[in-house]
Every structure is written in structure tokens, then in C-alpha cells.
Amino acid sequence: LTNVMSNETFRSGEATVNFIPENPHLLVPRYEYSKDRATKLIKYLAEVKVNGHPDIKKVDTDKVFRKPLVPEVLETEYPKGTKDLLNEMGRDQFIQYIKNETKIFYTDTTLRDAHQSLFATRLRNHDILKVTEGMAKNFPQLFSLEVWGGATFDVTMRFLHEDPWERLRIIRKAAPNVLLQMLFRGSNAVGYSAYPDNVLEQFIIKSAENGIDVFRIFDSLNWIEGMKHSIKVVNEKTNAIAEACICYTGDILNPDRQKFNLEYYVNLAKELEAAGAHMLAIKDMAGLLKPYAAQVLITELKKHISIPIHLHTHDTSSIQSTTYLKAIEAGVDVVDVALASMSGLTSQPNFNSLVATLKGSERENPINLKKLNEYSNYFEVVREYYYPFESELKAGTAEVYDHEIPGGQYSNLLPQARGLGLEDKFETIKENYKIVNHLFGDIVKVTPSSKVVGDMALFMTSNNLTAQEVIEKGDTLAFPESVKQLFRGDLGQPYGGFPKELQKLVLKKEQPYTEKPNAHLKPIDFEVQLKELHQKFDDKLTTEDLLSYIMFPKVFEDFYNFRKYFGRVEKLPTPSFYYPLVLNEEIIVNLDLGKNIIIKLRYVGEPNEEGFREVFFQINGQTRNVLVKDKA
Ligand code: 3PY
Ligand code: ZN
């Protein structure tokens, strides 16, 4: 039986010969769907219809979304990729292979940093999964796909109501042949504050078990003590690659910015290699590494370390592809890029154009450019769904060399300012960001240290404070909580120490410390806590869920309850997840492999005396209704 049989037009006999060609989805076979699962989803759709999506302030009702074209995948088998090579060769030999190859390797960041930096990390599983298998089959030459970690972990639960572990597992399944990479914030794992060592350890082990092959480990102050433990755990407890970062800030070629000079970075890299890193990442989170600086830095690093070098940047200035060219000439091993339509501005440089540029050059790594363009075209259409989360940046800006705001933070700062009623003062906020950096003694700014600088910049802006006033009135100011945490030592120790005068003003009577931030945190008893988790929620929950709960207790609880009530909203196509359906709009929802249901919005009733509206749908032709409280 197919859905055609329950279609009203078809049953009324009014269908013409064009009816089936025009409505191919009606040929989808019907099956006995779980009423419960479908009911949950229509509760969600009804809620968005009546009250809108809480994350979206203004819907552009004129917007018409195009239909994304999923590129055809011709290969049936997965071609041999880097994951297969790692398995075959083992870690040490694989690392040697990466280092010795002449060709340049690529990491595609489309599924992690690109959307984190362009539209506030909102890319949903639904849009990811349509192309993961195809990307893995078409681009097995990739060094890796960066797909996890950073802000994706909490945002998937918090805003997308998806399980980050599930996301990792399904990506792994769809891309078994290519290395999968994540961003790991050292002592802060994928959170914003330090966790006990045994939580970091368990998190790394579980991430590797669920599919991570490359851990990019950084510390938000470049404090090596914040990274050592994670490097060691990856080394000793997994078969994965520990890629440790030097976070790049300042400008090594600027004589006025010599706090973070060439020698500083080379020393840090040597220490990371000695700590057991298998690869070095230069993490240029704000896109400050200029082309000629990259040439000098890579050349010098190559003289002093023997592990491969992986370069990461953000194209905020619009000139970072030339940084890659200089780095490639200087012998960098891997560069981070994003599919064309997901590249540029606060995201990574353009994958497609770089592949085209290197054609015929000594370090060319041939990749099917036609296919790359097809995947870019797919994301060009998909990206439209996320328009409310895009930053206002229209072109590259040289201002980034001044304010040094990381790409991933930039796309968040404007909404944050808007939330505080400061959106007209964005210029002042950027200026204050720079001023705060100098007040703080010129520090590395990346999650979470960048957030502290941002909080302080917003604080100064909303209170109309100058740098001088911060110092003069400091003993009476109630500094933001995150600023107190930074100066107390909760994020570790900055290079060169904290400015003492400001530290006193911020902390008042409290004493700072210089041990590792998690030195005072009690280890977690996983067995006991898992039991407690089972009691609190249900006994199907796993150690992975416990890790989500330990890191984000409130977010996890909300996610759990949301899913219980609304079900697996990740199954909904993205437009219907974010925007109200229009009357008689139909969507196809794939509940399980090959099991589709068709949901059609039929009617929205007037509010009753208690303010509830009855919303009518058809699910596979059968009428169903739900009651939703109208919050207006
Ligand atoms: C993160 O920590 O999420 C980042 O992307 C830092 O650059
Ligand atoms: Zn980044």
C-alpha cells in the first residue's frame, strides 16, 4: 500500500495523468508507524506553528527555500582512505607517512568549525547526514573530516535537541574510511571550565570509542600544563592521534607586538612535541597569521620539531588563502579548509579554490573538483535555512588585526550584544575587546579566555567605562564572574602572568592560585554517578550520557525532557524545525531507514478559554490533532 491511496485528490478521481509524476513522494510505501513517535513530532510542529521557534525572533515570510541537490554517489564501496591507512600502518608509521608525502593534505571543517563560525553552530544532523557518506566516498584523500567538539557538543543538545554522541556515531558509520577529527579544549574538554582528570580521561576514551581518530588539543592560554594530561591519555589509552596546538595571536613580524614572538611559538612547539604530541596544530583562531609570518613560522618550526604540522585559520581578513600558499611553500603538512559555500569570512579558507589553485603545482593533492563543487552547491542551498544565525559581516575586514576576535566568537558576539540591548554599540564593543586584551596583559584569546575578554568588553560598554576608569574605580566595581574566574586561575596561567594591579582589583580579598585548575576537583566515581543518573532519568542511559550530564547538567536535563516530550526532532527537515508550516504544507519525515511518514498541516483552531489551540494534521492521510497553549 502506498500513500497515493489516502491522497484526497487521487481518491476523488480528479487526478490527471500528471498527478503521479508531480507527486512522486506519494509512492513512498506506507507502514505502520509508531503512533507515539509521530504524535511527539506533531506536538513539536504545532508548537512552532502556534508560538514560533524560540531561537528565531523574526521570520522572513517571503523567503522561499530552494531544494538542495544531494550529489549522486557512484561508488558502492568506500575507497581506501586515511582511516584505513592509520589502521594498517599504526600510529607512528602513519605520522611518518603524512610527514614524508610531498602532496598537501586537507582537513574539511564544514561539519564543525565552518558552521560554528558562520551560523552559531546550528547545522543539524538532518543536513549533515545527507552528504557524509558521499563526501567520504568522493574525497578519501582527505586527511580528516573535522566533525565534532568545540561548541558543537553543547549546542547540539541545547539548541538542536540532538544527542552529540549519536551524531558522532552516525557520522562514523557514514564515513568509516576517513579520519574523524574533534576539537578538545584541554582541561575544559568540550566545556567552558575545568573538569577532573578522570573526567577528561573518560571523555577521551569514549570519544575514541565512538569514532574520533584525531584529537586537536588546545589550552585557551597556551598553558602547557593544561594540555599535558590530555596528550598523555590519547597516547596511552587510545589508538588515536594527539594533535596539540599552539594558539597563534599577535604578529611575529610586528616589532611592536613581540610578547608572542617567533621564539615563544617555537619553544611551545618543542614542549608539546616533548609532551608526546603526534602532530602540531597552529591554531590561528582569529585569522591573524599573515602570509609572510606563516612562511617564517613554518620554516622555523620545521627546523625544530619533527612531527607533522597542521595549519588552521579563519578567513576573517579574506587574505588567508595566501597564508596557506606561503605555508604550503614552507612545507606545512595539512591545512584546514571548508567547502566553498561554507568558507570565507569568519570560517576557513575555500577548499574548492585552493584545490584549483594548486593544480599542476609540486604539492598538488588531486581531488575531484567537480564533485567538490557539487557538495558546495548542496551547502549553498542548505545554508539558507540558517539565515537567522548568520553574522552581519559581508566582506573580509582588516579590523580583525586590531580587535583579534576569534572567528567562532565573532558570529556570536552580535547576538550577545543584541541580548543586552547593545547592538548599536558593536563598534565600541570591538574597540573595547582590544582595550580589554591590553588591560589583561595581552593574552591568548580562544574559548574560554576569549569569552572572558568578550564579557569584560560588554561590561565596559554597558557601563560606559574607559580603561582608566576600570583601574581607578576597580575596587568598587563588581567585575563579571568570568573575569574573576580568569584572574583567580580557573583557566590556568597566562604567559608572563596576570597584571598584578588589575588582579587585586578584580579579586578584592580573594587569593589567586597557580596550580592546575582541576587540581582541587575531586575525581568522579563513574559507577556511583551512573547509578544516580539511572535513578534520576532512566536506566538506559550510558557512560556517554553521564559525561554529557557531568559537563552540562542543566542542558542535559532539558535535552532529556525535551526529547521525552517532543521525540526525535532531528528527523524533521530543517525548514520545518525552524519555521512554522503553512496550511496544507506537507513534509516527509524519515523515521527509520526507509520508513517515511508524510505530515501535512491542515488547520489551526482559535484559542479556547484557557488559551489552547487545536492544531490538525494528517499523518499518512489520517487526521490527528494536538492542543497547544498559545503563549501570545
Ligand atoms: C572552540 O573552542 O569551540 C573553538 O572553535 C575555538 O577556536
Ligand atoms: Zn577555528
- Is the pTM higher than 0.90? The answer reads yes
- Are the C-beta atoms of residues 355 and 326 closer than 8 Å to each other? no
- Are the C-beta atoms of residues 348 and 151 closer than 8 Å to each other? no
Q: Which three cell numbers stand for residue 225?
A: 600544563
What b/e readout covers 143-173, taking b as 16+ CB neighbours within 10 angstroms? bbbbbbbbbbbbbbbbbbbbbbbebbebbbe
Any idea which residue has 550530564 for its cell? 549
What b/e readout covers 244-259, taking b as 16+ CB neighbours within 10 angstroms? bbbbbbbbbeeeeeee
For residue 284, report the distance from its CA to the centre of ligand 1, in Å: 10
Q: Which three cell numbers stand for residue 452?
A: 572572558
Length of the chain: 632
* CA of 151, closest atom in ligand 1: 3
Q: Which three cell numbers stand for residue 428?
A: 565600541
Q: What is the pLDDT of residue 155?
A: 98
Helix (H, G, I), strand (E, B) or coil at 50: helix
- Are the C-beta atoms of residues 594 and 141 closer than 8 Å to each other? no
Q: Which three cell numbers stand for residue 507?
A: 579579586
* CA of 152, closest atom in ligand 1: 3
What single DSSP character describes residue 241?
A: E
The predicted complex's ipTM stands at 0.97
Q: Which three cell numbers stand for residue 419?
A: 541580548
Ligand nearest to the CA of 188: 1
Q: Which residues of the chain have pLDDT under 70?
A: 1-11, 13, 17, 20-34
Q: What is the pLDDT of residues 347-363, one digit of tens each?
A: 999 999 999 999 999 99
* CA of 285, closest atom in ligand 1: 7
Amino acid identity of residue 245, one-letter, is: C
In degrees and rounded to multiples of 5, residue 165 shows phi and psi of -65, -40
For residue 451, report the distance from its CA to the centre of ligand 1, in Å: 11
For residue 286, report the distance from its CA to the centre of ligand 2, in Å: 7
Q: What is the pLDDT of residue 31?
A: 44
Any idea which residue has 558502492 for its cell? 76
Ligand nearest to the CA of 409: 1
Any idea which residue has 594591579 for its cell? 501
Ligand nearest to the CA of 247: 1
For residue 411, report the distance from its CA to the centre of ligand 2, in Å: 12
- DSSP 3-state helix, strand, coil percentages of the chain (rounded to 5)? 50, 10, 40
Q: Based on the number of CB atoms within 10 Å of its own CB, is 550 exposed (0-12), middle (13-18) or buried (19 or more)? A: buried
For residue 172, report the distance from its CA to the centre of ligand 1, in Å: 22
The protein residue whose alpha carbon is closest to atom 3 in ligand 1 is: 150
The protein residue whose alpha carbon is closest to atom 1 in ligand 1 is: 150
- Residue ranges lining ligand 1, Cβ < 6 Å: 113, 116, 150-151, 183, 185, 285, 406, 408, 446-447
For residue 21, report the distance from its CA to the centre of ligand 1, in Å: 47
Q: What is the pLDDT of residue 33?
A: 53
* CA of 450, closest atom in ligand 1: 6
